[in-house]
Amino acid sequence: MCNLEKRGRVYILTLLGDGDHRFNPSTIDAISAALKEVQDSPDAGALVTTNQGRYFSNGLDLQWISQNPDAHLSTIRIKFENLLASFIRLRVPTIAAICGHAAAGGFIVALAHDYRFMRGDRSVLYMSELDIGMKLPRSLMAVIRSKLLPGTLRDVVLGARKFSAQMALEGGIVDSVYADSPQTLEAAVSEAQKLAGRGWKKEIYSELRLGAFPGVLEELDAHRDPYLFPVSSKL
Amino acid sequence: MCSLEKRDGVFILTLSGEGEHRLNPASIDSILSALAHVNENAHLVSALITTNDGKFFSNGLDLQWVSEFSSSRESRSQILGLKYAQLLVAVMELKLPSIAAVCGHASAGGFIFALAHDYRFMRRDRGFLYMSEVDVGISIPPSIMSIIRSKVGSRHLTEVLLGGRKYTAPMAFKAGIVDSVHENSGETLQAAMDASVKMGKRNWNKEAYLQLRFSLFPEVTEKLGLRLKGRSPLLSSL
């Protein structure tokens, strides 16, 4: 499902295979275990998350959910919130090297990283919820709102816009764009090595990230009734 | 004061008449009843476009109405403040996409009214967007401020609010305050129509759309008491 390798002080987490890397309890557990290894590693300096194949991730495993919607929906929401919280709690810089399509939950995982590098062709970022008539839980909305500019945020959530890499770059969703998957990964690893080389104290980096995006981790940890409005926002 | 028409599956609300299309209880009530009609018929159309005739989109609250009689200035000020909040609530509770096709000056309450819409298209050569409160010496209550802060990026908030800067359409586009700029009123409205028709083809569930808008702007939702069903306490109180 996923693979963790280390190059110098940079960990590279790869979502394996040609499928669309959907999140269900098994795949989430595998990724969480990898993140724990990074968190516990004393000399970890940065994390790059990337993918094989044509998809970064298309989000939650709707097929798994449909096997038993009542039980599975709340199970997966809590597990997914915990997964996002694990990325946000990591005490090292994180880069999503997006080498394929990222939709819904997959897009949100990418947003939960500090930086986003993206492949220029045949990759689209897309929040599909509006098109399929689904609501967005307040916890996931907190992640989305923390990372996007107002106009882009509106286009992503209320416009269900499909962003090519160039559009994503112009909208401030991704930081840089590269010609193909290998170049995207190499650039991300290279940047990760630079960031690791800054020798930042892990506790400080983590505190700064939490301070820059206040309220997001609290929303993810709280596992509240997802659609309870209104929300008092610290963001 | 305003007129509502339905054209090619799109509602068009036009702020009309002489002058600056200032907002007072009478003009707000006529807009509110138009917006209520739009919401009741949201399932039949793809979007609402709010636009204007003449030289002004709207220059905001009718301060002349407030100070018409010195004895009632304070109570009129309170009444107008509440009615204006109701207007913003009604726009934010629209069960369909909303586009402000700004074809003239929009300042203070008129600018905020445009900001309350999901999208802003603007005419290039006429009018500017101007948060005049700092120049006129009026403060903005937190509930209304939450709309401004939700729609104007933090980078430009200072110059909009504390600088009282006047934005031409190209400046507003660059600052991300408007989404597109067009050569004249006709083209601005046509672009809004085209965008509406395009959105209509996506066949969005209107309840989901409203829910997403609320979750996108949680501070506004909380401060203005926005509701999915039933009426916001603000709408019921006058």
Task: Give the burial string for B12-37 (b: 16+ CB within 10 Å, else e).
Answer: bbbbeeeebbbbbbebbebbbebbee
CA distance A131 to A223: 25
CA distance A10 to A28: 21
Chain B residue numbers with beta carbons less than 8 Å from the beta carbon of A153 are: 216
Taking the mean position of all CA atoms in its chain, how far away is CA B83? 14
Report all structural domains of chain B as residue ranges with CATH numbers, in order of start.
2-200 (3.90.226.10), 206-236 (no CATH)
Residue A86 lies in a domain: yes
The reply to whether B205 touches chain A by the CB within 8 Å rule is yes
CB distance A98 to A118 below 8 Å: yes
Taking the mean position of all CA atoms in its chain, how far away is CA A182? 20
Least confident of A124-138, A217-231, B176-190: A217-231
Residue A230 lies in a domain: no
Instruction: Provide the whole-model pTM.
Output: 0.85
| Residues B103/B52/B80/B139 CA torsion (nearest 10 deg) | 0
Range of the domain at A154: 2-222
Does B226 score more than 70 pLDDT?
Answer: yes
The reply to whether B152 touches chain A by the CB within 8 Å rule is yes
CA distance B154 to B106: 21
Q: What is the DSSP string of B75-138?
A: HHHHHHHHHHHHHHHHHHT-SS-EEEEE-SEEETHHHHHHHTSSEEEEESSS--EE-THHHHT-
pLDDT of res. B238? 47
Does A109 score more than 90 pLDDT?
Answer: yes
The reply to whether B116 touches chain A by the CB within 8 Å rule is no
pLDDT of res. A232? 43
Residue A232 lies in a domain: no
- Looking up residue A186, the CATH number of its domain turns out to be 3.90.226.10
CB distance B121 to B180 below 8 Å: yes
CB contact under 8 A, B119 and A154: yes
Q: Predicted ipTM?
A: 0.75
pLDDT digits (tens, 9 = 90+) for A199-219: 899 999 999 999 899 899 999
When pLDDT is averaged across residues B114-121 and rounded to a whole number, the result is 98
pLDDT digits (tens, 9 = 90+) for B99-111: 999 999 999 999 9
pLDDT of res. A96? 98
CB distance A228 to A86 below 8 Å: no
CB contact under 8 A, B218 and A141: yes
pLDDT digits (tens, 9 = 90+) for A10-49: 999 999 999 999 999 999 999 999 999 999 999 999 999 9
Nearest Cα to A124, choosing from A204, A55, A47, A65?
A55
B101: phi then psi, degrees, rounded to nearest 5: -95, 95
Q: For chain A, how many structural domains are there in total?
A: 1
CB contact under 8 A, B118 and A158: yes
When pLDDT is averaged across residues A83-89 and rounded to a whole number, the result is 98
Residue A171 lies in a domain: yes
CB contact under 8 A, A230 and B214: yes
